[in-house]
A and B are shown apart, each in its own frame.
Chain A
Amino acid sequence: MRVVVCVKQVPLVTSISIDPERGTLNREGVPSVLNPFCEYALEQALRVREEKGGEVVVISMGPPQARQALLRCMELGADRGYLLSDRAFAGSDVWATAGTLKEAVERLVPGYGLILTGQQAMDGDTAQVPGELAEMLDLPQVGRALEVHPLDEEVRVIREAEDRVETVRSTLPCLVSVSKGGTRRFPSMRDLIGAREREIVTVQAKDLGIPPEEAGLEGSRTRVIKVFPPPQRGPGRTVKCEDPWKAAREIIDLLDLEGDR
């Protein structure tokens, strides 16, 4: 089966800060990583390939440096990768992103059987793109998947719900967005070398036949007005003690000590 995984590079949000005056993210010096949800999606794709054979194709839209996220996918075992990178794509909201991905999937991976995405990206946390992409491609969609098992004509998905775990089946092709669950692999030394020998193709708007007014900022239907941080809290401190009474006393004394400073 031909499995497409749509992935995103995101700033490592744990090291990001917000400029409260300008209402923007301070991204300078912040490392970028493959969105963790996307890595779980890739993991499921690799397992599908291990079960059913076929190939795993990764697609990402982003600036040139997003190539690193695709390289990581290749290191983990993806067969080939496409980087959708064009100034015309800059400023895309979820709608424009889904529209661009739709064209890419249809043109670059004809005959796909399954599309996997991360549940959401940990920078924007919108979780909109998977649903929109499925809608645009007129595919059934299953969300919050933990495991994806291919059958002959269908796919069986174990998904998490609020208070239970469900097993659902869908016809193929379909789109499954994957949550975090199970173990993630490490590439081997040979995988690291091998990934660098396979090609990552850069694709522009014109290659996908997307008119400028439908891509990027212009093709977007929403706009972020303001970004601001929630109220700050100081770092915590752990008091280790078996006896809760003693632990409480120790905390009281720590507070006391703070007051003395």
Chain B
Amino acid sequence: MNEIASERLRIPPIEEVKCVSGQAIADRYPSFLSDESKTEGEAEYLFFPNGPEQVASVIRWCNDERFSVQVSGARTGITGGCVPQGGAVISTDRLDRIMGTGRDRRGHFLRVQTGVRLSEIDDLLIRGTDGLPEITPGSSIGPGELRYPVDPTERSASIGGTIATNASGARSYRYGPTRDWVRRLRVILPTGDCLEVTRGEVQAGEEGFLLDLPDGRRRVPVPTYGHFLREDLKNAAGVYAAPGMDLVDLFIGSEGILGVVVEADIWLSPRISTLSNVLFFPGEEEALHFVRELRSSELRPEFIEYMDGNSLALLRRWQERSPEWLDVPFVPQAGAAVLFDLPFQDLRDDLLTVGEIAEASGTSPDRSWSAYEGQEVERLADFRHALPEAVNSTIAARKREYPGIHKLGTDIAVPGRRLEEMMDFYRERMGSSGLEYVIFGHIGDNHLHVNMLPENMEELERGKEIYGELVAKGLSLEGTVSGEHGIGRIKKGYLSMMYGAEGMEEMRRVKRALDPRSILNPGNMLDLEVCR
């Protein structure tokens, strides 16, 4: 079935919604005018709706008044996707209810409002859901039994933000991105009407989706580009499209331009113990050999991550400056490191297997760090997360002299068979760039981040040019400009490089069908005529 009828909510008057306006926003809530991209915006109204009905009230008011509206979750994104461009801001801070547990054929799920943070979900699941309503009887979850496996590093992210961006992170190697874990959504459309969609209920037909709204029937076309169909390409760029796709998937990763997600059911998976490892290599080639062998072994890693020699050197520099910064030993001199978690099963046999692969790949199992006890695994996770932190701190220090400076971080992913070619290009191009850079990230997903750290404005400009070359190369290898960060407002140029004029027009058609006045998150992904 490709038809769905909207639900009309009992919409309260806009005056009932807590609101701050004018200069008071910048004075009292400055954080709502920026995000982790560190770009700045402005807003005339800032609303704090306390539930879906109040969200609908704000959206409908904005639609009637032709006011643009920016949805704002935890503002942990790095592409400016929730930096307001004038108009109104809707904070999801008060959409903070964890509504209950449920169970279907696939397993347990949690029903949450979308302002709930990932850390809150994890804390709850560690404690157990005793006392929480059971949406399906007998679905209560014991302490520490289950987890939400999507782990985009930033645990303060809101679930709504992770749905809007189809967030992934290291563990998507084994578990896939957010998309694979969303069971059901409630979405407020610009008319203030609500769509309640459960996965499996509404799938695109030849004419796309048919939405019955109070003001008539809308046809939402499905774009014909095939970027999301490419085998093993991790892609978070553009509006999702696939023949016969589920309506739930249309909203996931759409960066909030099609509707406001106010509630979600997310599936959970067993919480498993892991054996965390860091293995150091003489160079990139050996590390890549190891990754290939590990992927094709019978071991089932939770994730496979990579740090190049520059990354390790940067971490070591920060350690030498302040050893207390990170509770790990001094990073050894090495040409690369591969970081991977294995399910904790047979420690001895699994490590012997890893050791054999390591030796066949030009390193030794002695050149490794391993952990399996909870807090030790956390320590290694801190090590993994320390690199972006070191990059950001380095840039922050340079900003003092050059306030306009920022890091240039790529998010290019390619299909698996193209990974080596992409890495060769990174090495050659970056090696001759004269810029400081690190390469790290989700090598298991063929998705590495190149972070350039310019030292002055001239280097920044040079970096931007090189950035374009890296993206062009990635696209020529059938890759994507964004494997996980999304497009937001700062990577739009690259999105049209990727999809071409026709693909961009197809996205615009989807947008117009759902948001004809283009009030929602204007400027995200698409350049459109926007209202104020």
Residues of A within 8 A of B (CB): 12, 29, 31, 33, 72, 182-193, 196, 239-241, 243, 246, 249-250, 252-253, 257, 260-261
Contacts and interface: CB of A to CB of B under 8 A. Distances in A.
Interface string B350-391: 011011001000001111111111111001100000000000
18 contacts: A12-B375, A29-B143, A183-B329, A186-B369, A187-B369, A189-B279, A189-B365, A189-B370, A190-B355, A190-B364, A190-B366, A192-B351, A193-B351, A196-B347, A246-B28, A250-B29, A253-B20, A257-B48
Contacts of B279: 189
Interface in B288-335: 323, 327-330
Interface string B85-97: 0000000011000
A189 to B, nearest CB: 4
A183 B371 contact: no
Contacts of A261: 50, 94
Interface of B: 18, 20, 27-31, 48, 50, 93-94, 143-144, 277-279, 323, 327-330, 347-348, 351-352, 354-355, 358, 364-376, 379-380
Contact of A12 (B144, B328, B369, B374): B374
Q: Is the interface of B mostly helix, strand, loop or mixed?
A: mixed
Contacts of A188: 365-370
A249 B28 contact: yes
Contacts of B50: 261
Contacts of B31: 239-241, 250
A254 B374 CA distance: 34
A250 B371 contact: no
B30 A246 contact: yes
Contacts of A12: 374-375
Contact of B328 (A29, A31, A183, A191): A183
B48 to A, nearest CB: 7
Contacts of A260: 18
Given A185-B329, A186-B369, A253-B29, 11 more contacts: A186-B371, A186-B376, A186-B379, A189-B277, A189-B355, A239-B31, A241-B31, A249-B27, A257-B18, A257-B94, A261-B94
A108 to B, nearest CB: 26
Contacts of A190: 355, 364-366, 368
A186 B370 contact: yes
A192 B347 contact: yes
A189 B368 contact: yes
Interface centre among B348, B367, B370 (most CB of A within 10 A): B370
A196 B370 contact: no
